[in-house]
């Protein structure tokens, strides 16, 4: 079993798009949204109450990886996190299909590397990368695999090169769909249901030894 890696008094930062955002309120200092960051922070705060861990959510709905980079100093580096968790990439795929605005995959990978280089060089934080995913609900989401699959491979390369803790979420959710239909986990194939968010939280907590 993995030893719990978050030390007392540390700051955990969640970054990403709407899946991470989870409907955050106007006070980013305290609102964790309704999604997996809320489940994680609530569970670990209860289990390790004496640790006084500081959880921060800076996910923003609609973000692509270029949007993360544009706000990375303010919404990551300046926070001085001890652990940074990132889930990004599905909007880079989605905009290709709904707006004819593709995101170049080599640049996606290069941008991801720039973000992680900053984290390592300026904060020394532990990095968790959550794999982007899409489920076949509705059926037209199957076409998205053409764009998302190579983006997932890029994400895996970046995680390996930077020694990140990696959560293979696309595969985890695919396995979960053998137990229940895809819409049970994410009705539109992208945004998790409460059960989907809980599954992500369980895998995340397992990854940190919690």
Average pLDDT, the chain: 96
- Catalytic positions are 18, 188, 191
Given a contact cutoff of 8 angstroms between Cβ atoms, the answer to whether 149 and 107 are in contact is: no
Nearest 5°: CA angle at 55, between 28 and 197?
Answer: 90
Q: Which residues of the chain have pLDDT under 50?
A: none
pLDDT for 210 equals 87
From the number of C-beta atoms within 10 Å of its C-beta (0-12, 13-18, 19+), residue 22 rates as buried
DSSP H helix total and E strand total for the chain:
10, 5
Strand order in the sheet with 165-167: 54-57, 11-16, 83-87, 126-130, 165-167
From CA 184, how far away is CA 13, in angstroms rounded?
A: 28
């Amino acid at each position: 079993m993995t030893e719990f890696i978050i030390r007392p008094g540390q700051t955990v930062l969640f970054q990403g798009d709407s899946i991470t955002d989870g409907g955050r309120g106007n006070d980013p200092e305290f609102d964790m949204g309704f999604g997996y960051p809320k489940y994680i922070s609530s569970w670990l705060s209860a289990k390790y109450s004496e640790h006084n861990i500081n959880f921060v959510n800076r996910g923003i709905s609609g973000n692509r990886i270029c949007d993360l980079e544009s706000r990375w100093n303010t919404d990551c580096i300046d926070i001085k996190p001890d652990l940074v968790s990132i889930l990004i990439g599905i909007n880079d795929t989605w905009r290709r299909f709904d707006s004819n605005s593709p995101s170049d995959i080599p640049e996606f990978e290069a941008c991801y590397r720039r973000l992680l280089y900053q984290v390592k060089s300026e904060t020394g934080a532990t990095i968790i990368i959550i794999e982007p995913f899409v489920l076949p609900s509705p059926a037209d989401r199957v076409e998205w695999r053409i764009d998302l699959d190579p983006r997932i491979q890029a994400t895996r390369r970046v995680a390996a090169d930077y020694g990140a803790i990696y959560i293979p979420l696309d595969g985890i959710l695919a396995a979960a769909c053998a137990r229940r239909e895809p819409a049970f986990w994410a009705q539109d194939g992208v945004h998790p249901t409460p059960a989907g968010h809980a599954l992500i939280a369980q895998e995340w907590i397992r990854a940190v030894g919690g």
